[in-house]
Amino acid sequence: MRRPQPRRYAARRGAVAVLAVAVLGCSTLVAACTTGPAPSEAKASADLPRDTIVNLFQWNWASVAAECPRLAKVGYAGVQLSPAQEHAQVANNPWWVDYQPVSYQISSRRGDRAMFAAMVTACHAVGVKIYADAVINHMAGGDSGVGWAGSAWSHYDYPGIYQSQDFHHCGLTEGDDVRDYQNRAQVQTCELVNLADLATGSDYVRGRIAAYLDDLIALGVDGFRVDAVKHVSAEDVGAIMGRLSKPVERYYEVIDKGGEPISMNEYTGSGKVLVFSYGDEIGSALQWGRIASLRNLAGGVNGTVARVFLDNHDTQRHGGAQVLTFKQPRLYALANVFMLAWPYGEPTVMSSYEFTNPDAGPPETDPRGTTKATTCGSDGWVCEHRWQSIEGMVGFHNVVKGTGVDLWWDDGANAVAFARGDRGFVVVNNSTTPLTGRSFQTRMPPGSYCDVVHGALVDGRCTGPTLTVTADGWFTADVGTLDAVAIHTGATAR
C-alpha cells in the first residue's frame, strides 16, 4: 500500500555496493533466465514442502497463468497477485491506483473475472497456489470518478456497497488524515493519505468485506496478502477473517520496525505477518556492515508466523537506502541467496518492472493503462525471480526445509558459510577479496553436486560448476568477490 514514507535516500554507499553496480555488473550470479524452460531439478517438486511465494507485481492474469508451469518446476509454492478488485482511474495510470478500490467486482487493468478464474485453474493444475492482495482498510482517495469497470463513485458513496455511515470520520486531525503514527486512534480510524477509511468495527462493513474475500475463495484463491493491516485493529481483522467460509492462509502487512504503539504481534492470532525489519537488516549488512552479524538473524515474531522479504513494491520505491533491489544486482542476488538459505520465516521473492518515476505503473498497451503481457527481459519487465541464483536457491530452500544451521564459519567480516543439516551447504562472499582454495566441512553424503547459484540440474547433469564432497564431508571451492556457491542433496550430478 502506498503510504507516506520518509525519504531517506542517503548518498553514502560502501565500497562493496559501488563495485557491485558500477564495476562488476552482471554475471551468471544474476543472469536472468528469461527464455527457455525452467531447470528440471530432481527434488524441486511437489513431493517436498514448499513455502516460497513470488510477488509477480502487476502481472496480468494471462501472464501469471503462463508462468505457473515454470514456477512449479523451480519449486515455488505460490504467486502473490496485485489487487483483483475494480480500482479507480487516475491520470498517468500509477501503480498505486490498484490500491484504491471502488467496487468489489473482479475487473482491473490486469483482466476480468473470467481471466482471473482461468489463471487460478491453470496454476492449480501444476500445483501453484494463488494469494490475492486484499485491500480491506479503505476505498479510494479522490473526490469522485468512474472505476475501471464503469462504477461511478464519490469519496464516501459507492452505490450498492458503502455510504457515508460505513466510514470512519475520526475528527482528530484537519482533513481526518493520519498525522501522528504514535497515536493509535489516528492510525486506525483516520484516513491514510486521504483514502476513505472503512468503519471495520461495523457489522455491515465486516460482512461486506468478508463477502468479497469469500468471492475470491470461491474462485479458488488459496490465501491473502492483506494490505495496510496496521490501520485496522487486530480485533476487527480477526472478526472479518472469522467470517470466511473456509480458513485460508493469510499474511498481513503490518509495518512494525519498533518505536510505534501498534505491534505486529497483535495480529498473529489470526494470521502470519510480514517482517519489514528483515530486509532492512540484510540490506544494511551487505552494504555497510559485516554479514557475519547475520548469524542470529530473526524478526520480532516467532519464525512460524513470519513471512520475510528483501523488498516489495512499496519499499523498493520509498523504503530508504538500506533496501536492496534489482537496481543493485550483485548485492541483491547475494541477499536472495542468504534469505533462501536462512531458516527464519517463509520467504517472498520480488519480481519487478523497471522504473525511474516511483509512481510509474507497469508496461501498458493503451492510454487507459491496460497491463501489457509480461515478456521477461523486454518492455521493462525485470523478472528477477528467474535469475539463476534465485531459482537455484528456491530449490535449495525446499530441500533443506526443517533443518537448522550447523557448522557456521565466518571470517569475522564479510564472508560466511554454513550447513543446513545434512542436506545443504552455502558460502556467501560479500567482500572485495576472493575466497580461493578454501575447504569447507559439511554433513552431506559424498558425491558430486551442482552449484545451484550458478547452474541447474538438467537431465542429471549440471549446467554450471560442480563441487565434490569427499568421503569425510569436505569440499573445496573458489568463491569470487561478491559471489556465492550452494549445494544440496536434491541436485546431485551423475
Please identify every residue annotated as catalytic: 227, 253
Question: Are the CB atoms for 396 and 343 separated by under 8 Å?
Answer: no
* Angle, in degrees to the nearest 10, between helices 329-341 and 388-400: 10
Q: Which residues contact 434 (CB under 8 A, 6 or more apart)?
A: 478, 479, 480, 481, 483
106, 373 Cβ separation under 8 angstroms? no
d(CA 410, CA 293): 10
Cell numbers linked to 40: 528440471
Angle between helices 61-74 and 388-400 (to 10 degrees): 60
- Contacts of residue 150, defined as CB under 8 A and 6 or more positions apart, other chains included, come to none
SS3 269: coil
Torsion sign, CA atoms 164, 170, 175, 180: negative
* Closest listed residue to residue 272, CA positions, set 239, 246, 237, 243: 237
Cα(352)–Cα(324) distance, integer angstroms: 13
> Pairing state of beta strands 447-450 and 466-469?
antiparallel
Q: What is the rounded CA–CA span in Å between residue 394 and residue 181?
A: 37
* Beta-strand runs (E) in 287-430: 306-309, 346-351, 405-410, 415-420, 424-429
Query: What b/e sequence results for 312-339 when a residue is b if at least 16 CB atoms lie within 10 Å of its CB, and e otherwise?
Result: bbbbbbbbebbbbbbebbbbbbbbbbbb
Longest CA span, the chain:
72
**Cell numbers that stand for 325 in this block:** 533491489
- Three-state DSSP at 4 gives coil
SS3 label, residue 257: coil
- The H or E element spanning position 65 is helix 61-74
CA nearest neighbour of 164 among 174, 172, 173, 176: 176
| Cβ proximity of 431 and 415 under 8 Å | yes
C-alpha to C-alpha distance for 412 and 342, rounded to whole angstroms: 19
Residue 126's nearest CA partner among 50, 82, 70, 53 is: 70
